Structure 1
Amino acid sequence: MALHVHGHGSRLAAAAWAWLAVSMMASLASARFIVEKNSVKVLSPRSLRGHHEAAIANYGIPEYGGTLTGVVLYPEDPKLATGCGPFGDKKFRSPSGRPVVLLVDRGGCYFALKTWNAQLAGAAAVLVADSADEPLLTMDSPEDETPDMAFLANITVPSALVTKRFGDALRRAASPSSGGSGEEVVVRLDWRESMPHPDKRVEYEFWTNSNDECGPRCDEQAAFVRAFRGHAQLLEKGGYALFTPHYITWFCPDAFLDTPQCKAQCINRGRYCVPDPDRDLAAGYDGKDVVVENLRQLCVHRVANASSRPWVWWDYVADYHLRCSMKENKYTRRCAEDVVRSLGLPMDMIDKCMGDPDADAENDVLKTEQIVQVGHGTRGDVTILPTLVINNVQYRGKLESTAVLKAICAGFKETTEPHVCLTPDMETDECLDNNGGCWRDEKTNITACKDTYRGRICQCPVVGGVQYQGDGYTECKAVGPGRCAMGNGGCWTETRNGKTLSACSGSDLSGCKCPPGFKGDGFHCQDVDECSEKLACSCPHCSCKNNWGGFDCKCGGGLMYIKSEDTCIAKNMSAFGWLVTALVVSCLAGAGVAGYVFYKYRLRRYMDSEIMAIMAQYMPLDSQHNENQPLRTQETQQA
């Protein structure tokens, strides 16, 4: 919880707010927290044989429903005994080739860092020996995760805390320098009874939060919902599992109801509160905004459950996180309504379920949440987020879809596991129901819904080499070359009287522009009435008639309309006009006759003489024939 005292508040105000924080968190300090355990059985040496308890860490991946048999090794170098430093190039291997269970000492660094270093060094599991004689506790990952803790998401080996007494015994047996016999210390880590499995149906709960600005923990929750919803929906649709979401809230003590802190972080007069998302009461969203959205998500599950579709909660939460981010200032009721409508849920029933957040009265839904937050039976109080409860036992380990599915499947009675527990290959077919809440073009049936084994995603497709772009939920439009062939590129088009016009242009690779004679945004185009808007045919004596995509203009008084000049000219000219025209025509005719005469007599004679001169070189003319005839006869006779 963020503690802020703004302005010139006195020390008394600061002290009062500090007391408020203590009061609101008091329930957490006194909470009954259950340490979940697994069994460690020593197989050898004989002197250590027996069963021991170990506290399962809240990171890594425990082998729920299974076992792991390995050899316990302890670092020989005392400087590496805590596992806080990297083991370098050293790889732990057992003489027998069995998996290595690395034993390290408590202290010096975060528990998770010890496990990470051991994993890098080849360990298959990690046991941390306590340094004090005390009850076992749950090893958790750091509350404030810094950038150098990115390794947390990559821890895959299981780890557990053992008591100081048991840890000392393992250390002595695994270290020859400590008087050990040199015999391999073989243990079996057993998680088969860590998860109850009474029957063929699993009941599980997920305690989460709609806040998306709480850092790595919020990002982890959102990623888990996206990745696991496909598994969850198959389990629920088949009737194999019963799922219930939950949200943690606190209350504001009566003495502080009128403080800015309670007013900003609580609803229903201080009865239900959560911390400010960005830890700044003067900026961004308030804690009460988160409470309202948490309440809405609870009601989404209730309404969906009433319509026999409880699995829709997973789609709503995943879509809301993507579409209604705080960072984009979309964490609003309006955005929530868009998501609800896309999933086919009745918003009026959800509103009725939520009630009035401003009323000075109990809210039945949130009151129930505060009641079930308190532990009952074998389950402890829920005090941290996120928390997964399976068959009334709090899950420990990494919040990752495959690891969680393994834990849930361990909750089924033997031989009753559903198919989803036996193969990772599955299809949820969410796109068959209301198109998965994604965008779809009704005319072409092109859809943004894509089914995967993790659940459906809303992603604009590529069809016939044409890329669609958009958010995938409410909009996808074709872009690039060829887009007009795909549903007209999403642009306006209409056909009348056999004439088709379109706002899609091949030269414009993304936009839509109404054609000439129309106005609009390209998605909706209306015919422009050029006549009434005086855009054309506005000259004197003009008569305008609008038609679809254009207009017809006529001139009165025997005039003729010239469209390019938007004007009328006379068809019948005056006597003077005719005289001028006659003179022009006469001049043109005279010029034509003169040209013809020139061609006929002068130019023609010149051309004829030229042609005759050329022909004389190749063909004997009559005069040449007469002069040469005697010579030709004489030559013939001599021959």
Structure 2
Amino acid sequence: MALSPLFLCFVLLVTSSVSGRFVVEKSSITVISPSDLQSKHDSAIGNFGVPDYGGTMVGAVVYPDKSSASGCRAFSGDRPFKSRSSRPIFLLLDRGECYFALKVWNGQQAGVAAVLVADSIDEPLITMDSPEENSDKEGFVNKINIPSALIDRSFGDSLKKALQKGEEVVIKLDWRESMPHPDERVEYELWTNSNDECGSRCDEQMRFVKDFKGHAQILERGGYTQFTPHYITWYCPEAFVLSKQCKSQCINHGRYCAPDPEQDFGEGYEGKQVVFENLRQLCVHRVANESHRSWVWWDFVTDFHIRCSMKEKRYSIECAENVIKSLGLPLEKIKKCMGDPEADVENPVLKAEQELQVGRGNRGDVTILPTLVINNVQYRGKLERSAVLRAVCAGFAETTEPAVCLSGDIETNECLERNGGCWMDSRANVTACKDTFRGRVCECPAVNGVQYRGDGYTSCEAFGPARCTINNGGCWSESRDGLFYTACSENELKGCRCPPGFHGDGHKCEDINECNEKTVCQCDGCSCKNTWGGYDCKCRGDRLYIADQDTCIGRNTSGFGWFLTLLVLGGVVGLALAGYIFYKYRLRSYMDSEIMAIMSQYMPLDNQNNETEPLRQRQSSSV
């Protein structure tokens, strides 16, 4: 029987995935005890549940008896597994007999914090994947909320032997290096589909887009992330390009195809309509990104799913364009970006998408939907809002993640109890405890422009010129009788120093009794009285105390003394007045001479007239 083009398209896709490049995402496991097993091992992150990206977990390993070691049946009793301490329990199970996800689900139902599956053969680590949709009749995969990992056979055997000896096995699961953070911005991409008739997978991705939209737009608007949507397409074999099936599934003469939504060529929507809508959504993002509004893609996809659903028979070009107009996007630019779906040419947008499906760097080939890639690493786990937000936030360097990473559903609240064991200044309400989705971090803070420095656990010290504005920089200060003293000085960038009149370490200062220490007021006949922050020294009789000289001088109060003082003052005043008069006289004389000199150049004076008169007479008589 001849193969249909639809089947051949799937064959091409499967062949590509088999021969393509698949990357196993890993976390690490460190054995803490017993001491003879202390070592570090790789583990493969399960492709379901909630890996604790960016975090760690420490717990005790338990291994059930042989009859239930596979974990394929529900464990009896309420929380049947116990540890010697209060540590969380990590359940170790054997591979085989049932789906990986079912083992983890049964472990979660038994109250364990994580599940480890030991491989049954010696081979490189593989990714534990979810079962097919029709094999998950109870929908347990989407209910898994704990992390899981596959470990190699030899490591699993060593753990089992230690447990059989009755030793307590304590390990640390570590996902901190599972999500790289190469720079200050997280780049992530979602491979999705505009089709909403593909079963639970489509429902899952549309539910995620709707729930994650708020977080995504906050991150994108703030410049913290760069999000890019992608859509999988494949091509029809050249021999079948002109067939009815290929024409119904593909655009641009078989170059870009999608399966029939209902898997029935005789009714409903066609695959080429899905390809064309996928192309539109790509162009919506491109055009929105050009106008610095990349986050509008989330609004478009959400609105399109509500207003233009296949299930309600509204999936159409007209409906999509109405959504575009409602969001204020330039329709003509989007149409130009999409090009002509009937043309026998490459579409540059979809051509780029096909090339991006091939894995690069740490990322494997993209072959299934939905697929989430964060910082070029494929996300493993449930496509759910809080789980994905945790993974995206793990893409930031520790303590640099934005505030949205402390949303209520992923914050740890470890700072609420005993301040997380970090330093705190209760008087200024300043703490070194910072709550993150990874757990609390003890880091000296920056408050109102004042930077604190220290280890964050036992001490933090204010640093910089503005440090005295917050609780006096942590230094001693006190007010008494209208006087205020502090050991913090804005002239010093750090440290505390007791002010003059006090002694101590700067964090506690006590008044110096200068009188007892005999450092002042040592002059003959002086009496000393200590005051807070200073002293009061008085001289015997009417003498005056000169502090700089630490001495007393006599006051002159006799009548002759007053007369002499007045006489001296009168003489000084007289001299000043005489000097002023002399100054005014000399100034006037100088000004007169200057004026005369100037006028002589322009006007003849009387003596000049007398001298020139005979000359005039002689000149006139000669005429």
Fold equivalence (TM over 0.5): yes
The whole-number CA distance in structure 1 between the counterparts of 2:260 and 2:8 is 17
For 1:206, give the aligned amino acid. Answer: L
Tell me how far 1:264 sits from its aligned partner.
1.6
The whole-number CA distance in structure 1 between the counterparts of 2:96 and 2:409 is 42
The whole-number CA distance in structure 2 between the counterparts of 1:419 and 1:14 is 54
For 2:28, give the aligned amino acid. Answer: S
Given the alignment of the two structures, is residue 276 of structure 1 paired with residue 260 of structure 2, yes or no?
yes
Alignment map for 1:146-545 (pairs within 5 Å): 148-174=137-163, 176=164, 180=165, 182-424=166-408
- Return the match for 2:58 from 52, 64, 69: 69
Given the alignment of the two structures, is residue 113 of structure 1 paired with residue 97 of structure 2, yes or no?
no
Tell me how far 1:215 sits from its aligned partner.
0.8
**SS at 2:138's partner residue?**
helix
Given the alignment of the two structures, is residue 87 of structure 1 paired with residue 83 of structure 2, yes or no?
no
**Over residues 105-147 of structure 1, what are the superposed CA-to-partner deviations in whole Å (9 max), with x where a residue is unaligned?**
1111111111111001011000011111111111111232456
**SS at 1:149's partner residue?**
coil
Tell me how far 1:306 sits from its aligned partner.
1.1
The whole-number CA distance in structure 2 between the counterparts of 1:150 and 1:20 is 29
119-128 vs 406-415, which deviates more?
Answer: 406-415
**SS at 2:97's partner residue?**
coil
Distance 1:15 1:260, change over 3 A: closer
| Map of 1:53 onto structure 2 | 42
The whole-number CA distance in structure 2 between the counterparts of 1:68 and 1:126 is 12
**Over residues 549-573 of structure 1, what are the superposed CA-to-partner deviations in whole Å (9 max), with x where a residue is unaligned?**
xxxxxxxxxxxxxxxxxxxxxxxxx
| Map of 1:578 onto structure 2 | none
Q: Is the 8 A contact 1:24 1:252 kept in 2?
A: no
For 2:314, give the aligned amino acid. Answer: K
Tell me how far 1:384 sits from its aligned partner.
1.5
For 2:93, give the aligned amino acid. Answer: V
Tell me how far 1:90 sits from its aligned partner.
4.2
**SS at 1:104's partner residue?**
strand
Tell me how far 1:415 sits from its aligned partner.
2.2
Tell me how far 1:21 sits from its aligned partner.
4.2
Q: Is the 8 A contact 1:72 1:187 kept in 2?
A: yes
Gaps of 5+ in 2: 411-623
Distance 1:43 1:136, change over 3 A: same
Given the alignment of the two structures, is residue 124 of structure 1 paired with residue 108 of structure 2, yes or no?
no
**SS at 1:150's partner residue?**
coil
- Return the match for 1:140 from 121, 124, 129: 129
Tell me how far 1:148 sits from its aligned partner.
2.4
The whole-number CA distance in structure 1 between the counterparts of 2:5 and 2:324 is 41
For 1:252, give the aligned amino acid. Answer: C
**Over residues 398-436 of structure 1, what are the superposed CA-to-partner deviations in whole Å (9 max), with x where a residue is unaligned?**
11111111111111122211111123399xxxxxxxxxx
Q: Is the 8 A contact 1:208 1:385 kept in 2?
A: yes
Distance 1:140 1:351, change over 3 A: same
The whole-number CA distance in structure 1 between the counterparts of 2:409 and 2:100 is 35
Distance 1:236 1:18, change over 3 A: closer
Tell me how far 1:16 sits from its aligned partner.
7.7
The whole-number CA distance in structure 2 between the counterparts of 1:228 and 1:424 is 14
Distance 1:197 1:14, change over 3 A: closer
**SS at 2:389's partner residue?**
helix
The whole-number CA distance in structure 1 between the counterparts of 2:68 and 2:382 is 26
The whole-number CA distance in structure 2 between the counterparts of 1:56 and 1:306 is 37
For 1:84, give the aligned amino acid. Answer: C
The whole-number CA distance in structure 2 between the counterparts of 1:287 and 1:29 is 24
Tell me how far 1:17 sits from its aligned partner.
6.9
* Identity within the alignment, %: 64
Q: Is the 8 A contact 1:24 1:253 kept in 2?
A: no
The whole-number CA distance in structure 2 between the counterparts of 1:25 and 1:115 is 27
Distance 1:278 1:121, change over 3 A: same
**SS at 1:148's partner residue?**
coil
Distance 1:17 1:215, change over 3 A: closer
For 2:227, give the aligned amino acid. Answer: F
**SS at 1:38's partner residue?**
strand
For 1:85, give the aligned amino acid. Answer: R
Q: Is the 8 A contact 1:31 1:383 kept in 2?
A: no
The whole-number CA distance in structure 1 between the counterparts of 2:23 and 2:194 is 25
Gaps of 5+ in 1: 1-10, 427-639
Aligned residue pairs, count: 409
**SS at 2:342's partner residue?**
coil
The whole-number CA distance in structure 1 between the counterparts of 2:370 and 2:318 is 27
Q: Is the 8 A contact 1:236 1:310 kept in 2?
A: yes
The whole-number CA distance in structure 1 between the counterparts of 2:300 and 2:121 is 47
Q: Is the 8 A contact 1:20 1:256 kept in 2?
A: no
The whole-number CA distance in structure 2 between the counterparts of 1:368 and 1:117 is 43
**SS at 2:336's partner residue?**
helix
Distance 1:198 1:17, change over 3 A: closer
For 1:82, give the aligned amino acid. Answer: S
Tell me how far 1:220 sits from its aligned partner.
0.5
Q: Is the 8 A contact 1:24 1:251 kept in 2?
A: no
The whole-number CA distance in structure 1 between the counterparts of 2:397 and 2:343 is 46
Query: TM-score w.r.t. structure 1 length?
Result: 0.62
Tell me how far 1:79 sits from its aligned partner.
2.4
**SS at 2:105's partner residue?**
helix
**Over residues 506-553 of structure 1, what are the superposed CA-to-partner deviations in whole Å (9 max), with x where a residue is unaligned?**
xxxxxxxxxxxxxxxxxxxxxxxxxxxxxxxxxxxxxxxxxxxxxxxx
For 2:253, give the aligned amino acid. Answer: R
For 2:302, give the aligned amino acid. Answer: A
Q: Is the 8 A contact 1:56 1:161 kept in 2?
A: yes
